[in-house]
């Protein structure tokens, strides 16, 4: 009886070590693995491209109460960003000069309503969600980042704009698939 348990334990340990080494290899080669529903699941490669509308980016969230709540409720992972936050991947939907409006009905960019952008009032655990409001023209250092594939994503509709300083890299989807 003890032999199968020992083999299973060694197999699990070997697999865990292999996955850890593989994830380090991906990080060194500039590849992110996205497992969240905010963007298509898959592999994203860091690329040397400008930060423009439509691009996917990785960013460190700013340290504030909204992101503390997000980390405490496991909306975002822990990581190496200030505040102990993990890097997030989102898509840019507005940048300098764009007029945006954020309210419970959703997000409007230059008068156009974005799909899947309506705010929810509670999360899956019936916890209240922040109700962010904004009407503004973005300046040179402001970006609107969100998910257009997941109506429950934790994104700009709850945390607002992200400053250029928070954006780490532009990433490109190498290989993705649906949830």
Task: Give me the chain's average pLDDT, please.
Answer: 89
| Residue 95 CB partners (closer than 8 Å, separation 6+) | 51, 52, 53, 138, 142, 143, 144
Q: Is 128 exposed, middle or buried (0-12, 13-18, 19+ CB in 10 A)?
A: exposed
Question: In whole angstroms, what is the distance from residue 39 CA to residue 88 CA?
Answer: 10
CATH number for the domain running over 35-177: 2.10.109.10
Q: What is the pLDDT of residues 49-77, one digit of tens each?
A: 999 999 999 999 999 999 999 999 999 99
pLDDT in tens, 11-20: 676 655 654 5
What residue spans define the domains of the chain? 35-177
pLDDT in the model for residue 137: 98
Nearest to 105 by CA among 114, 93, 94: 114
Question: Phi-psi category of 52—alpha, beta or left, where left has phi over 0 and alpha has psi -120 to 50?
Answer: beta
- For 71, the token pair is 């980390």
Predicted pLDDT at 32? 87
Q: Following DSSP, what letter does each residue of 88-102 receive, concatenated?
A: EEEEEEE-TT-EEEE
- Output the pTM of the full model: 0.84
Q: How high is the pLDDT of residue 21?
A: 55
The Cα–Cα gap between 41 and 29 comes to 19
25: pLDDT strictly greater than 90: no
* C-beta of residue 94 within 8 angstroms of C-beta of residue 138: yes
26: helix, strand or coil: helix
Instruction: Note the pLDDT of residue 36.
Output: 87
């Amino acid at each position: 009886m003890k032999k199968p348990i020992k083999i299973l334990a060694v197999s699990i340990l070997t697999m865990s070590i292999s996955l850890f080494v593989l994830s380090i290899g991906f990080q060194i080669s500039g590849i992110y693995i996205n497992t969240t529903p905010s963007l298509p699941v898959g592999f994203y490669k860091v690329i040397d491209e400008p930060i423009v509308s439509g691009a996917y980016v990785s960013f460190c969230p700013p340290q504030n109460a909204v992101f503390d709540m997000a980390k405490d409720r496991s909306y975002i992972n822990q990581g190496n960003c200030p505040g102990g936050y993990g890097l997030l991947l989102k898509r840019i939907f507005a940048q300098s000069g764009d007029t945006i409006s954020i309210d419970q009905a959703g997000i409007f960019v230059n008068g156009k309503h974005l799909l899947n952008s309506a705010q929810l009032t509670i999360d899956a655990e019936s916890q209240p969600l922040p109700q962010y409001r904004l009407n503004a023209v973005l300046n040179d250092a402001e970006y609107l980042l969100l998910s257009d594939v997941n109506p429950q994503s934790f994104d700009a509709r709850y945390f607002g704009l992200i400053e250029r300083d928070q954006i780490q890299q532009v990433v490109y989807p190498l290989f993705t698939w649906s949830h």
